[in-house]
């Protein structure tokens, strides 16, 4: 009987603790600010293995992990800012290369942009003046895509 009572009390404590740490606590931890994920495509054509970590290369070398970026509205007013993450090498052209071989790739970065809830009229600015409009994405997990050119 004593073991059953102890188990009941322990379960009640776990349930009470879970109820206290519910979604309403997110606002106090800074989780109330929304964000959107923007995929940044850097078509640098650098030779890499698919999936390899990357940064922009050649003319795009200023677009790298920890580089500062801003998102501006149609009037050029900054609406968000942050730092780029490292990217991942993805296939650049529809050509079959041998498995595991280096091939021309583009570096793709998935950027979590705090405070970005809409892409309407927004421009992504990074590096030495690279800027491009944020376009809608067909991927449901993204708010938009940017093609750096």
Q: Are residues 86 and 122 in the same domain?
A: yes
Structural domain containing residue 112: 33-147
pLDDT, tens digit, 9 for 90 and up, residues 23-65: 333 333 344 468 899 999 999 999 999 999 999 999 999 999 9
Tokens of 105: 């790739």
15 shares its domain with 43: no
Whether residues 116 and 133 fall in one domain:
yes
Residues 9 and 44 occupy one common structural domain: no
Rounded to whole angstroms, what are the CA distances from 41 to 9, 73, 109, 133, 138?
54, 20, 7, 12, 15
Shared-domain flag, residues 13 and 58 = no
CB-based contact 93:23 (threshold 8 Å) = no
Q: What is the pLDDT of residues 65-82, one digit of tens each?
A: 999 999 999 999 999 999
- Helices (DSSP H) in the chain: which residue ranges? 2-20
Residues 22 and 91 in one domain: no
Give the pTM.
0.74
- If residue 6 lies in a helix (H) or strand (E), which one and from where to where? helix 2-20
CB atoms under 10 Å from CB of 104, counted, come to 16
Domain co-membership, 138 together with 77? yes
Pair (140, 72) in one structural domain: yes
One domain for residues 53 and 25? no
State how many domains the chain has.
2
* 37 and 99 housed in the same domain: yes
The encoded tokens of residue 25 equal: 């606590």
Residue 108: phi, psi to the nearest 5? -120, 125
| 60 shares its domain with 76 | yes
CA distance 60 to 55: 8
């Amino acid at each position: 009987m004593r073991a059953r009572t102890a188990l009941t009390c322990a379960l009640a404590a776990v349930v009470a603790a879970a109820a206290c740490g519910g979604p309403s606590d997110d606002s106090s931890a800074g989780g109330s600010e929304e964000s959107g994920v923007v995929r940044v495509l850097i078509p640098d054509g650098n030779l890499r293995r698919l999936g390899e970590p990357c940064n922009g290369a050649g003319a795009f070398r200023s677009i790298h992990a920890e580089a500062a970026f801003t998102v501006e509205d149609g009037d050029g007013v900054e609406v968000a800012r942050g730092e780029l993450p490292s990217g991942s090498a993805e296939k650049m052209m529809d050509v079959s290369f041998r498995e595991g071989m280096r091939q021309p790739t583009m570096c793709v970065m998935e950027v979590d942009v705090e405070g970005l809830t809409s892409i309407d009229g927004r421009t992504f600015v990074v590096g030495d003046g690279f800027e491009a409009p944020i376009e809608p994405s067909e991927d449901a997990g993204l708010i938009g895509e940017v093609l750096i050119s």
